Amino acid sequence: MPSQTVLVSIERPEIDYQLPPAETVGEVERQLSVFERITNVDWVRRLSILILLAACWEVYGRHLDNPLLFPTFGDTVAALWNATIDGDLLPRVWSSLRVLLMGYGIGLATAAALSSFAVSNRFGSDLLSTFTSMFNPLPAIALLPMSMLWFGLGTPSLVFVIVHSVLWPVALNTQTGFLAVSESQRMAGRNCGLSGFSYVWRILVPAAFPSILAGLKIGWAFAWRTLIAAELVFGVASRTGGLGWFIFEHRNQLETDYVFAGLMTVILIGLFVEEVIFRGIQQRTVVRWGLQR
């Protein structure tokens, strides 16, 4: 028969330490080194990535030495400068932005209405789910030919395709966010006597804001893409034409550095909106509220 080991806890004397005051422990807190503190700043790290990318671009462009195919970073910046100062870049940016903001605004308003309707009853939520699964995968640019037939060659058909590209991702994200709001938070809201629109606006929207914000970002990016692509397809939407038309024109004239300047403008505006506007909103809302790191 195998003998079974029995573990017996050995009795030891109790110990009662007398702790000296905490000040005698010595260094409790030490400041980080300058390098560590600088690299802890978000924008410094991001900016250094951008500088690194620009340097690679410059080196590769010089190595290739073919301004027609791949202008250097310096050429592109120069073209951007010229187009801004002497050329018509700014009015074109404005003309694009105007259409973009119009489409984005209408898209957001429609998304807000649809998702509010979707939380209020089951039919609404089924409707929205069906719509988003039907239309979200449909590229907005594929609707452009129809849009041109319906609304003509002009701003309205651009706005239509932008609304289409903004509406579904934003509505989908908003609905997902609403569904994730916890039961106790919902009950706490209704307990205060809230219902209907004020319940959605004061409880669901802020509680679902991380998800809504993600939807807003995706919607913004989709709107930009759709707009530039649509302008490339049929060019002049208003008297001056937009940024897409700027790119298209200069490609026809084989001014590749200006094409790059146009693309860079799109990127710069995108960076600004993402890093300054959306990041600012994020810091003031979801990060401060502890809903997102």
Partner 1 sequence: MHAIKYKERDMSPSDIATPAPQPKPDKPLLEARNVTLQYKTPQSLVTASHRVSFDVYAGDRFVLLGPSGCGKSSLLKSIGGFVTPVEGSFTLNGAPIHGPGPDRMMVFQEFDQLFAWKTVLENVMFPLLMSGNFSRKQARERASNYLDRVRLTKFRDSYPHTLSGGMKQRVAIARAMAMEPAILLMDEPFAALDAMTRRRMQDELLELWESTQFTVLFVTHSIEEAIVVGSRILLLSPHPGRVRAELNCGRFDHAHEGGDAFAALQRRIHHMLFTETAANGGSHA
Contact residues for partner 1 (CB under 8 A)?
Answer: 182, 184-185, 187-188, 190-194, 202-203, 206-207, 209, 285, 288-291
Least distance to partner 1, CB of residue 224, Å:
29
Nearer to partner 1, 155 or 285 (CB): 285
Residue 117 to residue 189: CA distance in whole angstroms:
18
Nearer to partner 1, 186 or 251 (CB): 186
The pair of structure tokens assigned to 85 is: 């100062």
Nearer to partner 1, 77 or 287 (CB): 287
Residue 154 to residue 231: CA distance in whole angstroms:
10
Nearer to partner 1, 168 or 178 (CB): 178
Least distance to partner 1, CB of residue 18, Å:
25
Least distance to partner 1, CB of residue 247, Å:
41
Q: What is the DSSP string of the chain?
A: -PPPP---PPP-------PPPGGGG-----PPPHHHHHHTSHHHHHHHHHHHHHHHHHHHHHHH--TTT---HHHHHHHHHHHHHTSSHHHHHHHHHHHHHHHHHHHHHHHHHHHHHHHH-HHHHHHHHHHHHHHTTS-GGGGHHHHHHHH-SSHHHHHHHHHHHHHHHHHHHHHHHHHTS-HHHHHHHHHTT--HHHHIIIIIHHHTHHHHHHHHHHHHHHHHHHHHHHHHHH--SSSS--HHHHHHHHHHTT-HHHHHHHHHHHHHHHHHIIIIIIHHHHIIIIITTTS--
Nearer to partner 1, 143 or 213 (CB): 213
Least distance to partner 1, CB of residue 216, Å:
16
Nearer to partner 1, 4 or 191 (CB): 191
Least distance to partner 1, CB of residue 208, Å:
11
Least distance to partner 1, CB of residue 187, Å:
6
Least distance to partner 1, CB of residue 209, Å:
7
- What is the distance of C-alpha 194 from the center of its chain? 31
Residue 276 to residue 269: CA distance in whole angstroms:
10
Nearer to partner 1, 63 or 284 (CB): 284
Least distance to partner 1, CB of residue 133, Å:
22
The pair of structure tokens assigned to 261 is: 């300047």
Nearer to partner 1, 24 or 182 (CB): 182
